[in-house]
Amino acid sequence: ATPVTSWARATPTEPYDYYPFVVQGEIEAIDSSLMHPAEGCSWQGLAGQVFNMRGAPVLYVGVQIGGRFNGRDINEYILTGYGPDYVEYGFEYKLGEQPLASDGTLWVRLVDQQFLPLSHKVYLTTTTDCTRNLILVNFKQIK
């Protein structure tokens, strides 16, 4: 098995404003049944939006989700604009069918069409709590 330490949190070597996008506000975890009432506690995921410098949501920005979660390696790529109605032009990724705890082994970042980073990796914490099984991460453009 791969030791968890190989997925430990990393301190970025680039300054906060090195990339054109940064996390907007605080990362929140909410009850997914607000958005997926039929799923209840049988769902865990990640969702968010990307905003330009004027504050408008941006379509077709690459979102890369990676790391290790629930004993498996994750390296997924999705685009903004294909999320559900509750996040305008947003993204959503289903992690699994039950809330699981993890601390810093899973990350998300924005990438361009060549998979070059547009933001730092944002390391996430997940819980087994059914009232905190949807993580919301929003990004904003700063340059």
pLDDT, one tens digit per residue, over 55-73 is: 999 999 999 999 999 999 9
Is pLDDT above 50 for 7?
A: no
Judge contact between 123 and 107, C-beta under 8 A: yes
Chain-wide mean pLDDT for the chain? Answer: 89
Label residue 121 by pLDDT band (50, 70, 90): very high
More confident of the two residues 16 and 11: 16
Handedness of CA 20, 79, 87, 133 (dihedral sign): negative
Reported as half-sphere exposure (CB side, CA atoms, 13 A), residue 92 has a value of 18
Helix (H) or strand (E) holding 142: none
More confident of the two residues 88 and 32: 32
pLDDT at 18: 87
Is pLDDT above 80 for 106?
A: yes
pLDDT at 12: 57
Is pLDDT above 80 for 9?
A: no
Q: Structure pTM?
A: 0.87
Is pLDDT above 80 for 8?
A: no
Q: Which residues pair with 47 in a beta bridge?
A: 92, 136
Residue 113 is given by DSSP the state: T
Is pLDDT above 50 for 2?
A: no
Distance CA 16, CA 69 (A): 26
